[in-house]
Amino acid sequence: MTAAALSPCQLRRENAEFRDTGGRSEENRSSGFRPAFMDIATCMVYESRFADGRLAPFHLLDGLPDTVVLTRDAGGRVARIKESVVSGFVLSGRFYTREEAARAVAA
């Protein structure tokens, strides 16, 4: 799980780290995984969404609720979210971290 608060830059780093492992949307979508976030402090899971509420096919911070948003940029886009929120995936109602999704895809 990430030690730093998630930001668009941190999401890019995670995508680079998990390239070719199954821990990215592009690599596990065909297995039914949907990008999501989990607040480990509350156990709330949020599927990744565009700002207008539509489901997003990749990890996107703009659709997260204000309760987990720490800062927004001048244009209103989410710049940083709570440190207790981690990126991962949902499959059949269960949250998977990127590591867990990668292992599941590899199995």
Mean pLDDT of the chain: 94
Q: What pLDDT is stored for residue 107 in this prediction?
A: 85
Residue 97 CB burial class (10 angstroms; 0-12, 13-18, ≥19)? middle
pLDDT in tens, 18-55: 999 999 999 999 999 999 999 999 999 999 999 999 99
pTM across the whole model = 0.92
Q: What pLDDT is stored for residue 65 in this prediction?
A: 96
CB 38 within 8 Å of CB 81: no
Nearest C-alpha neighbor of 35 from the set 67, 18, 75, 76:
18
Q: What pLDDT is stored for residue 3 in this prediction?
A: 55
pLDDT bin (cut points 50, 70, 90) of residue 1 is very low
Number of alpha carbons in the 13 Å side-chain half-sphere of residue 54: 5
Check whether 2 has a pLDDT greater than 90. no
pLDDT in tens, 76-105: 999 999 999 999 999 999 999 999 999 999
What are the domain boundaries of the chain? Answer: 8-106
Q: What pLDDT is stored for residue 4 in this prediction?
A: 73
Q: What pLDDT is stored for residue 5 in this prediction?
A: 84
